[in-house]
Chain A
Amino acid sequence: MTQLFRKTLLSASVSLAALIAAQAATAQEAVFVMATNEVGAPTYNPIKATMLNTATGLLFDRLVSQAADLSYHPWLAESWEEAPDGMAWTFKLKQGVTFHNGEPFNAETVKAWIELFKTTEGENGYMAEAIASAEVVDEYTVKFVMSRPEPNLLYNLSSTFMGVVEPKSFAALGDNYGVTEVYGTGPFKLESFAIGQETVLVRNEGYTWGPEVAANHGPAKVERLTFREIPEDSTAFLELKTGGVDFLLSVPADLMGEVQKEANLAVLTMPGQDVWYMPINVTKAPFDDIRVREAAAKAINQEEILASVFGGVGAVADTFLISALPESHVPDGAKIHYDPARSNALLDEAGWAMGEGGVRMKDGQPLKVTLWTQSDSIFRRLTEVVQAQLKAVGIEAEITTFDSSTIRDQYKTGEQQLAVRSYNWDNADIVDWFFGGDRLGYPNVSMFNDPKAEELRAAAMTGARNMDERIANFTAYHEYVLTQFPMAPIYQPVQAMAYNTDRIALPEKIDAPAFGAAAFLDLQVKE
Chain B
Amino acid sequence: MLSWLIKRLLMLVPVFLAVSVVIFSILHFIPGDPIDNLLKIGSSPEARAEMEARYGLDRPLPVQYGIWLSNVLQGDLGTAIVARRPVADLIAQALPHSLRLGGLALLFSTVVGVTLGVVAALSRDRWPDRAIMGGVLVGSTMPSFWLGLILILIFSVSLGWFPVSGARGWQSLVLPVLTIGLGGTALVARITRVSMIEASGRDFVTLLHAKGLSPLRIQLRHVLRHALIPVVTILALRIGWILGGAVTVEVVFARPGLGTLLIKSLAQHDYPVVQACLLMLAMAVMLGTLMGDILQALMDPRVRAAMT
Contact = CB atoms under 8 A, between A and B. Distances in A.
A442 B41 contact: yes
Contacts of B37: 408-409
Interface of A: 40, 42-43, 121-123, 175-176, 179-180, 194-197, 228, 230-232, 235, 238-239, 241-244, 403, 405-406, 408-410, 412, 438-439, 442-443
Nearest to A403: B267
B254 interface: yes
Contact of B160 (A242, A403, A412): A242
Given A197-B256, A238-B156, A175 B165 contact: no
Contact of B164 (A175, A231, A235, A403): A235
B269 interface: yes
Given A194-B256, A230-B165, A406 B41 contact: no
A174 to B, nearest CB: 10
B32 A244 contact: no
B302 interface: no
Which of B41, B82, B260, B269 gathers most chain A CB within 10 Å? B41
B93 interface: yes
Contacts of B267: 403, 405-406
Given A122-B40, A438-B42, A439-B42, A238 B93 contact: no
24 contacts: A40-B264, A42-B83, A196-B256, A197-B256, A231-B254, A235-B164, A235-B165, A235-B252, A238-B157, A239-B164, A241-B157, A242-B156, A242-B157, A242-B160, A244-B163, A244-B165, A244-B166, A405-B267, A406-B268, A406-B269, A408-B36, A409-B36, A412-B36, A443-B41
B106 interface: no
Interface residues of B, number: 31
Contacts of B32: 406, 409-410
Contacts of A122: 40
A432 to B, nearest CB: 12
Most B C-beta atoms less than 10 A away, residue of A43, A244, A408, A412: A244
B85 interface: yes
A232 B254 contact: yes
Contact of A228 (B85, B152, B166, B252): B166
A191 to B, nearest CB: 15
Interface in B133-184: 152, 156-157, 160, 163-167
B22 to A, nearest CB: 23
Contacts of B85: 175-176, 179-180, 195
A123 B47 CA distance: 13
A439 B41 CA distance: 6
B254 to A, nearest CB: 5
B84 interface: yes
B294 to A, nearest CB: 36
B174 to A, nearest CB: 14
Given A242-B160, A406-B32, 6 more contacts: A121-B40, A175-B85, A197-B93, A230-B166, A409-B31, A439-B42
Contacts of A438: 42
Contacts of A409: 31-33, 36-37, 269
Nearest to B42: A438
B90 interface: yes
A403 B166 CA distance: 22
Which of A175, A235, A403, A438 counts the most chain B CB atoms within 10 A?
A235
Which 4 pairs of residues, A with B, have the shortest CB-CB distance? Answer: A403-B267, A409-B32, A238-B164, A239-B164
A76 to B, nearest CB: 27
A235 B254 contact: yes
User: In the complex, which of the residues B40, B84, B264 has the most CB atoms of chain A within 10 Å of its own CB atom?
Assistant: B84
A194 B269 contact: no
B164 A244 contact: yes
B254 A230 contact: yes
A196 B264 contact: yes
Given A228-B166, A244-B163, A194 B93 contact: yes
Contacts of A439: 41-42
Nearest to A437: B42
A343 B37 CA distance: 38
Contacts of A405: 264, 267-268
Contacts of A244: 163-166
A517 B26 CA distance: 46
Interface in B51-85: 82-85
A123 B163 contact: no
Nearest to B268: A405
Contacts of B157: 238, 241-242
A66 B18 CA distance: 59
B41 A43 contact: no
Contacts of B40: 121-123
Contacts of A43: 84
Contacts of B260: 196
A242 B166 contact: no
B27 to A, nearest CB: 14
Contacts of A232: 254
Contacts of B254: 230-232, 235
Contacts of B36: 408-409, 412
Interface string B183-212: 000000000000000000000000000000
A403 B32 CA distance: 12
A179 B84 contact: yes
A230 B93 CA distance: 17
Contacts of A239: 163-166
Nearest to A175: B84
Contacts of B31: 409
A406 B42 CA distance: 18
Nearest to A196: B264
Interface in B241-297: 252, 254, 256, 260, 264, 267-269
A175 B82 CA distance: 12
Nearest to A195: B83
A243 B156 CA distance: 10
A40 to B, nearest CB: 7
